[in-house]
Each structure stands twice: as C-alpha cells, then as structure tokens.
Structure 1
C-alpha cells in the first residue's frame, strides 16, 4: 500500500474571499443578532442572484437538494417525474421527498444530459414533470425537452446545480425551463457554504418556496409539504461575498482548463467531455471520458489516484448510484457513463505543477499492470 501523499490535491477547493472582506460581513450579522428567519441578508442574496440571472422570481434555500424538493412542492407535483438515469442522487431523493416518484431515462452519449427521445417515450398519463440536469454545467437540450414538456402539458424543471456563470445561446443557463434550481454548496463555483436557490422563469414559485422553507406556516395553518429549508443570515452573507468573486474565479478556471487540455493531450485513453455548442464558459467541473480500451474504468481510476494524493470522483456509479430507482426502460448510455466518466480536481487556484502531477500520475497508472488490472 502506497503511503498517502503529503500534499493532497482535492477535487475542489472552495472559493473564499479574503478575511478582510469576509470577516466584517460576518461580524455585521453577529452584531445585528438577526441570524435566521428570512432576514435582510437572505433577501439581499436573493436580489443579487436575481440580478445576475435576469429573473425576478428567486428564493434561496438551505441546500440545492432542498431547492429541488421545494420547487417540486411549490408546483404541487404528484405523480411521476422523469429524471436522467445518470445524475447525482440528490435529484431523485429530492423528488421522493416532495411526494412524487422519480422515473429514470437514458442520457445522450455526447453531452451526458437527458435524451429527449427517451424522455418523450417515457411520458405517460402519470407524468407530472420533466426534470433534466445540466450535467457538469453542460446544458441539456432544453429546446427539445421544452417541446416534450409542452406536448405533455407538464412543467420543465431544470436542475442547474453547478450552472452559475454558464450561458447558453446568449442567456444565463438558469433562465431556461419553467423553473430552475441552483446549488450554493461549497463545491460549486459560487456558494454560501451550504445553500441553494429556486428560480421561477415561466412559473411564479418564489413566494411558495419562501413559505415552504419555513415549515409551510402561513394563513390557514402549516402546509404538509413544508420543511426547515431556510438559509441562515451567516450563510447568506458568505454567499454575497463569494458571488462578488465569481467573475474572477471564472477567468481563473478557464485558464486552468486550458492547462489541463495541454497536460492531458498525450494521454490517448481519456479526453475532456464535450460541451454543447452555443454554451459556455465550461467552468463547473473537469469531467473526462475514459476510452473503452482504457487501462482502468472510472472506479478503479479513482481508487488508484487516491493513495497518490489525488482525489477524483466517478459520480455516476458506485456509491453515488441509487439502488432500485424506477426506470422507464434500459439505460445503456447511463451505464456506460458510470464506467467511463470521472471528474478530476478543478478549481481556479489549481497550479500548473499540480496539473502536471495529475497528468504524470495518470500516465504512471497506465504503465503499471497491477494498478490498471
């Protein structure tokens, strides 16, 4: 067993402003003694997000998972929600907690997003919504999916968890769909340490989400779909400070991606995952696709990198895949993604020497039969 490296390279290092900026913002919250319950900093963060997306109907939540759950609850979804078979488990879990039933369909091979043909084939009288995921910030085929949703008479709810700063066809990615959700978790480009947001595009949902996130309390009594889904004032203060740093982080991540492209160019058994034309910048994650004849699959690659101090994630398989999720049919492309898609370390402060170390380690793994076997 190889000893752990003394300088680990994690999957993502959270963006945090300098303490000279963050300290006073947190100090103001403490001095105000207003710590939660939809305080002024929560409302300010909602206004900042609204301005950045160009949509007025925005409500923040305690997490991105809760954002999906409360979006479904605000729409009153009862029945089956079509979701991609290759997605982070939070998507299906949130649908279940909202009282609906997730039904998985296969994905597009190139962009790893819900296949519109598979979605259309899965629509039944029980379908109450279509919930695609903008996988690793790559837009789903929203034009085709919106047409399917309109034909079925159900809302299109887009999970844009890592989509802040990404544009598609000249519009913020979060502006697509009847409703969209955002994660503000520390692993995302912009974050509040923990948090999420629901964006109403064609449906007004923010007011309903604000009620639901506060146990559903209001006129006539508490709603059964309510929960404690609030964001604290401290988290909102962090979110506003981080949001101001997002443009600079996007610039840094674009440079890091360019360095990766150069460093990985000579490794013929993997390549960067494609990004849908008309979308960008591609700054949410560094996802690679392993070739069918690669010396390792996704799980074995992550296992081989770990003891060498490099953290990677195979988000579509292994411990991340939900067992016994209802499916509309076989999902061979999602199964293949579980075997072939890996996210390598990616954040704006990643150094060129660290990227070179990752590339060198990948080459070493391919040359080592005991690791590749």
Structure 2
C-alpha cells in the first residue's frame, strides 16, 4: 500500500464564489452613489437584465432578490393550485414554494442517469386536482423537456422549471428557458453566476412577465393603484452591480471548471462502483456541479464513508440531495413519499457526492482530491491513467 496522500492545509469546500476585482465593483458603487437609486429597477438592474439575454435566451427576464422568491412569484403568476407534480431529488426550496402557497407537492420518481423527473411516472400521478408540473434541471442536467411538454399539453397543465443549476444550459441548440411556461434561475453565491443573493424567471410569455413584475412589487400598478396581492422580491442595485461585474467572467470560469471536470472524469473513471458525471460540454452545460455516484455493493464502502473520510483530509464535499425532500418532516407522511414509490430517488440520495468544483480550485488540487478518493476506496493514492 502506498503512503497516505497529504491533507490540504486549508479547508476545500464544494464551491467558492467568483468575486470581481474590488476596484471594478467600486466603480459600479460610485455610479449607484451618484444616482442615489438603490432599488426599484434602477440603471444597474436595467443593464443586467439586458446583459443576461446572451446567457439565458431571448425570453422575457424578470429579476428577483433571490431564487426562492422568484420561484414563489412564478407559482403565483401561473395561478397554480391544488396539486403540482414535482421531484423529491432537489433542494428544499422546490417543494416549499408549493406548500407555502397551499399547494400539495406530489412526488414522482426520477430517471436513473439524469436524476431529473421521470416523465414515464408523471401521468400516473395526475389527478383532477393537478394544475402543473414543477421539474428541476438537477446539476444542470436537462429534464426530458419535450416529453414533459407533450404530457402537459395532453392534460392542460402548466410547466414551471427550477433551473437553479442550469445557467447557460442548452438543449437541441435552444436555451433551456425556451421550454415550459417559465424557468427560474438562482443567482445565489454558490452558483456559477451570482449576485450574492438573487434570481430570475425567464418566460416566452410577455403577459406573464408583466404579472411577475407586478407581483414582485406588492402588486402596485401605479401611485394610487394596487391590482394584486404581491410581495417585495425586487433585486436591488447593489446586487445588480455585482452581477454586472461578473457577467463577463462567466466564460473564463466555465473554462476552468471544464478542466476540473475532465480531471475528475479521467482520474476517477475505472474504479469499480464509481460512476463519474457524463462528459460535460463547455458550450451547452452549466458546469454548476460535479457529482459522483458511489455504489457500496461494488466499492465495499458507502457514500457516507467516503464523505466522512474526505473531511479528515480537509475536503468538504456535499451529499446533494440527502435526505430527499420527501423525507423532510412536512412531507414524509404523504403516500407518495414512501420509499417504494421513489426507489431511484432513494438510491441516488444514498449514492451521490458532489465534489469541490470552482475555477479557483485548479486542476492540481482536483488531482489531489482524486488521489485521496482513490486512497479511501482502494488504498492506492496514485492517479488512474487510462485512454481518454
């Protein structure tokens, strides 16, 4: 057995936010101070909305103070009610926005490879109370958008996508947000592109965009008219300024992440029981996360064992998404939350491990993480060499 690989001196986390040069951000702050406009659709907000079309498509973009409020506003603007079909394999915000509106989230199992909502399971879950489908592009893996659209048309359902991980993702040459009635994007600091906190909804429906703009500003139409029960979910100028500083850095960050993805794929492929991410594409994938699946029946070790052992080397991976949303206290008593109804999602929840994935990490550190993982699983730290 080879010597144990070295630990990192400083903690290595699953992500690290891009930050602009402070001098660049300061110039934007100076413009904000000069205008004395801090919110309510100021110049920074307007400019960021224009710039994002290059990355999110030519649909109508509404900016928000965070992704959860963006998704909540879209749910209200689409008049969803009753029951909405969704995935248990996602972040808590996805079912929460439904429950917050008094809507019953109905959990349907996921596909094995993409880990997105399985269209083959959707129709059996539709009842007379179903008004929509809330699907998630997990890790930026696109849902089967064409089949979901076919089912939705057949049953007269609205389709809302949680695209928190899918910034810049394309399907069949089309921006991911061109599918469905609307798509939410998160601009949280953990995301590829961020505004510290923030989000957006993109839709092809101009009337829906106007309704969301109304709802995110208390339902206020003008100085004396309130037309709807809205909330305050507007993106402020400082958030927008940070986004404007980072929007030109996206291509460089993605190139660095692509190199990391290739390193992980190369150095970890071939270990029995380890499934690496499919080969990612620089132009069409978001490169938001890089995930492994660890099958304990083949490796002899559980995902949780690897997760805990990595900490001893100062590497803090994440078990996205464990536990499943269907296992959370507000939802666990639902009949559709039973493990026998969600076998693929439960298996993924027990196997997935997201590795550190951000441009500043660098390929040398990614290689070191691979050596540590190989040591944990095989007792050998050397990188695995194989034909690319």
Contact map agreement 1:290 1:298 (CA 8 A) in 2: yes
For 1:327 and 1:239, how far apart are their aligned partners in 2? 42
Structure 1 Cα separation of the partners of residues 356 and 282 of structure 2: 25
Question: Which deviations, in whole Å up to 9, do the C-alpha atoms of 1:24-72 show, x marking residues without a partner?
Answer: 1122223322111222211221222234333241101111111111110
- Which moves more between the two structures, 23-32 or 332-341? 23-32
Looking at structure 2, the residues matched to 156 and 90 of structure 1 have their Cα atoms a distance apart, in angstroms, of 17
- 3-state secondary structure, aligned to 1:157: strand
The Cα shift of 1:133 comes to 0.5
Query: How much does 1:175 deviate?
Result: 1.8
Structure 2 residue 254 is matched with structure 1 residue 243? no
Q: Distance in 1 between matches of 2:211 and 2:24?
A: 33
Question: Offset at 1:127?
Answer: 0.6
In structure 2, the residue corresponding to 1:318 is in which secondary structure? coil
Given candidates 354, 370, 373, the residue that maps to 1:343 is 354
Shift of residue 278, structure 1, vs aligned partner: 12
Query: What is the CA–CA distance in structure 1 between the aligned matches of 2:91 and 2:12, rounded to whole Å?
Result: 22
Among 304, 323, 337, the residue aligned to 2:329: 323
* Number of residue pairs aligned between Structure 1 and Structure 2: 365
1:305 paired with 2:316, answer no
Separation in structure 2 between the aligned mates of residue 106 and residue 315 of structure 1, nearest angstrom = 16
Match of 2:382 in 1: none
1:228-307 paired onto structure 2 within 5 Å: 228-274=232-278, 280-281=284-285, 283-293=287-297, 294-307=299-312
CA distance in 1, matches of 2:62, 2:145: 22
Helix, strand or coil for the counterpart of 2:288?
coil
Q: CA-to-partner distance for each residue in 1:274-318, whole Å, 9 max, x for gaps?
A: 479999335121011112423333333322222321111112213
Are the aligned partners of 1:105 and 1:328 in contact in 2 as well (CA < 8 Å)?
yes
Give the C-alpha shift of residue 144 in structure 1: 0.5
Asked if the contact 2:167/2:286 (under 8 Å) is kept, the reply is no
How far 1:228 moved relative to its partner? 2.0
Contact 1:182/1:197 (<8 A) preserved: yes
Which residue number corresponds to residue 99 of structure 2?
Answer: 96
Task: Indicate yes or no: 2:234 matched with 1:223.
Answer: no
CA contact (8 A) 2:198 2:239 kept: yes
- How far apart, in 1, do the equivalents of 2:300 and 2:31 lie? 54
Cα deviations by residue, 1:246-301 (Å, 9 ceiling, x for unpaired): 11212221111111122213533312134799993351210111124233333333
Counterpart contact for 2:59–2:178, Cα < 8 Å = no
TM-score, structure 2 length as denominator? 0.87
Question: Is 2:212 the counterpart of 1:201?
Answer: no
CA distance in 2, matches of 1:129, 1:159: 13
CA distance in 2, matches of 1:69, 1:280: 27
Aligned match for 1:189, one of 182, 187, 192:
192
Tell me how far apart the structure 2 counterparts of residues 319 and 101 of structure 1 sit (CA, whole Å).
17
User: What is the distance in 1 between the residues matched to 2:286 and 2:38?
Assistant: 35
Relative to structure 1, is the Cα distance of residues 28 and 141 closer, same or farther in structure 2, using a 3 angstrom cutoff? same
1:77 corresponds in structure 2 to 80
Over aligned residue pairs, what C-alpha RMSD do you find?
2.4
| 8 Å CA contact retained: 1:189, 1:284 | yes
- 1:70·1:98 contact (CA, 8 Å) conserved in 2? no
Structure 1: which 5+ runs fail to align? 369-373
Cα pair 1:178 1:203 within 8 Å, conserved: no
Residue among 374, 380, 388 paired with 1:363? 374
Mapped partners of 1:155, 1:275: distance in 2: 32
Instruction: Report the equivalent of 1:371.
Output: none
Q: Go from structure 1 to structure 2 and tell me whether the alpha carbon gap of 1:57 and 1:214 turns closer, same or farther (over 3 Å shift).
A: same
